[in-house]
Chains A and B, each alone.
Chain A
Amino acid sequence: MMKQAGLAAGLMVLLAAGMVVAQEDVDYQNPQTWRQEVRNEIRSQKERLQELRDKQRMELKAKIAQIRDARIKLLVEKIGERMCTVNTNRTESMKKQLETFARILDKAEARAKTAETAVARKAIEDALTAVESQSARPCNITLTGTESAVLRADTRNSMAMLENQLKGVKEQVRQARRAVTQAIISVAKVMGEYE
Chain B
Amino acid sequence: MNKDRKNDQFLYIILAVLFAAVAVIIMYPKVTSELQPAVQTQTGGVLKGESRDLMREVESVTEESSGDDFGQLRTEAEGL
Find residues 50-76 in chain B having any chain A CB closer than 8 Å to their own CB.
50-52, 54-55, 57-58, 61, 63-64, 66, 69-70, 72-74, 76
**B47-A193 in contact (CB<8A):** yes
**A194-B77 in contact (CB<8A):** no
Give B26-58 as 1s and 0s: 1 = Cβ < 8 Å from A's Cβ atoms.
000000000000100101011111111011011
**B47-A82 in contact (CB<8A):** no
**For this complex, into which size category does the number of interface residues on chain A fall?**
35 or more
**A104-B58 in contact (CB<8A):** yes
**B77-A152 in contact (CB<8A):** yes
B interface residues, how many (CB within 8 angstroms): 28
**B55-A184 in contact (CB<8A):** yes
- Is A128 on the interface with B (CB-CB < 8 A)? no
**A100-B61 in contact (CB<8A):** yes
Listed residue (A79, A159, A187, A193) with the most chain B CB atoms within 10 angstroms of its CB: A193
Give A63-77 as 1s and 0s: 1 = Cβ < 8 Å from B's Cβ atoms.
000000000100110
Q: Give A112 Cβ to nearest chain B Cβ, in Å.
A: 10
Q: Give B61 Cβ to nearest chain A Cβ, in Å.
A: 5
**B52-A193 in contact (CB<8A):** yes
A/B interface sample: 9 pairs, CB < 8 A: A79-B76, A86-B70, A107-B50, A155-B80, A181-B58, A184-B54, A188-B49, A191-B51, A193-B47
B interface residue numbers (CB < 8 A to A)? 38, 41, 43, 45-52, 54-55, 57-58, 61, 63-64, 66, 69-70, 72-74, 76-77, 79-80
7 smallest beta-carbon distances between A and B, as pairs: A188-B51, A193-B51, A193-B49, A86-B69, A152-B80, A195-B46, A193-B48
